[in-house]
Amino acid sequence: MRIAYLDCFSGISGDMFLGAAVDAGVPLDQLQSVAESLGLDTSLTSRRVERNGIAATKVDVLVHGRPDQPIFEPEHHGQTEHQHDHEAHGHSHAHAQASQAPHSHDHTHRGLPEIREIISRAHISEVAKTFALRAFELLSAAEGKVHNRPPESIHFHEVGSEDAIVDIVCAAVAVESLAIDHWYCSALNVGSGTVRCAHGVLPVPAPATAELLRGAPIYSAGPPKELLTPTGAAILRALEVRFEPLPGLSLLATGYGAGGRDLPGTANVVRLLVGESQDAADLASPNSGDIIVLEANIDDMNPQLFSYVQQKLLDLGALDAFAVPIQMKKGRPGMIFTVLAMPAKAESLSRVLLTETTTLGVRMRTEKRRILARRHVTVQSPWGPIRVKLGVLEQDVVNVAPEFEDCRAIAEAHNVPLKTVLQEAVSLYLASAQRSAADTSKNS
């Protein structure tokens, strides 16, 4: 299981997340291509910096070819710029002002519908679009609650909107590129001090940030700066991170994303750790804890929608999604649409069932499950490398399954029957395992 851990000891913002992702191996040119294709006259740059002696990657969003202040504001509420965020992190602040900070660009306004349209046209996958839209919906809901307005009526300042759109859309692409099964996060250092707004002086965390951080463990340490921005908080919420201590993992990559400035006495970075789960319970015991079962009875949905909804659920992290036929009241044929998911995914997946199907409700229950520990090996076939998934029970390999997509790609590229490739992969693994067992026996 591939997991990631975000260490937010100096907070997090959108550009810090991007810097950490690039530092951990996400191709910068992939993100640059996305930023340039949004039709906003935006681009990304990256450079290596030091923050209190720690080398890190600093990603900057350029608007009309120039770095810009990260302003992303409700149009009708007159909030003023959060200078602490500009000093500490430099980008991706979802609040703030317009009138009191000088900018060279004309200011227009975009609301959530316009941002949805931009995201829908982006040259990114549906999975990334869903993530980006979810982050903006979370931001809009937070701003709407703070200002007692419907989320759809919230408008955002153009310059900040461009910066925030690039940050969030590129973050969505980075998340997809990292291919993480589960995201974990430390407690969040939100900073301290105050921010000056049109409403007066407000404490850190700012109102929308605090709304986004409901239920999250937070604390304040270090210099009196605003360290955690609403955009950073929205990314964490869209990731559905688990706020837990660092889990056991076999470390594969690390990434450090830099904020805008050095801060006295602390490294102004967010750290990203990527690895394979090495949790003792995950490897030594097949008992892996709770899952959520989502169910909906449906008898009036166009059957053409099923495969679309099923794939969307799987793309968003469902462990499985399937349907079984049933007979409903008045003798009508129908189906039970069932989704299996980790608890952190329950809310987003139930939302898909409620919005994409004709059901009027979703049942949820928690169940225990027993699974095999899993690991991967790679075998070298005559046509190229093939990954093989192994199911392990008490240190014994009891299931061997070649990765289907690897085998299909080889079959198509070399005009070989797919079943032949699958059989060859299993044979190669078994032969390798037998040689390894023989060598172990000989050495003992």
Note the pLDDT tens digit of each residue in 373-395.
777 788 899 998 898 988 888 77
State residue 141's pLDDT score. Answer: 82
Cβ atoms 46, 22 nearer than 8 A: yes
- Regarding predicted confidence, which is higher, 154 or 167? 167
State residue 306's pLDDT score. Answer: 93
Average pLDDT in the 92-113 region? 46
The confidence band for 10, taking pLDDT boundaries of 50, 70 and 90, is: very high
The confidence band for 66, taking pLDDT boundaries of 50, 70 and 90, is: confident
Q: Is the pLDDT of residue 284 over 70?
A: no
The confidence band for 17, taking pLDDT boundaries of 50, 70 and 90, is: very high
Highest mean pLDDT among 61-75, 191-205, 283-297, 383-397: 383-397
- Regarding predicted confidence, which is higher, 266 or 280? 266
Average pLDDT in the 301-330 region? 91
Average pLDDT, the chain: 82
Q: Which residues contact 32 (CB under 8 A, 6 or more apart)?
A: 43, 44
Segment 400-438, tens digit of pLDDT = 999 998 899 999 999 999 999 999 999 999 998 888 887
Average pLDDT in the 330-342 region? 92
State residue 207's pLDDT score. Answer: 85
Segment 343-355, tens digit of pLDDT = 878 888 999 999 9
- What is the signed CA dihedral for 11, 16, 18, 22, rounded to 10 degrees? -110
Q: Is the pLDDT of residue 137 over 50?
A: yes
Q: Is the pLDDT of residue 143 over 70?
A: yes
State residue 90's pLDDT score. Answer: 44
> pTM value?
0.62
Average pLDDT in the 117-128 region? 89
Domains detected in the chain:
2-280 (no CATH), 287-370 (3.30.70.1380), 373-443 (3.10.20.300)
| Six-digit token string for 408 | 């299909």
The full 3-state SS of 266-277, as one line of letters, equals: ECCEEEEEEEEE
Average pLDDT in the 171-187 region? 92
The confidence band for 151, taking pLDDT boundaries of 50, 70 and 90, is: low
From CA 43, how far away is CA 362, in angstroms rounded?
A: 42
66, 93, 68, 67: which is closest to 82 by C-alpha? 93
From CA 22, how far away is CA 10, in angstroms rounded?
A: 18
State residue 331's pLDDT score. Answer: 87
The confidence band for 75, taking pLDDT boundaries of 50, 70 and 90, is: very low
- Regarding predicted confidence, which is higher, 205 or 111? 205
Q: Which residues contact 71 (CB under 8 A, 6 or more apart)?
A: 81, 93, 96, 97, 98, 101, 103, 157, 159, 160, 163
State residue 153's pLDDT score. Answer: 59
The confidence band for 396, taking pLDDT boundaries of 50, 70 and 90, is: confident
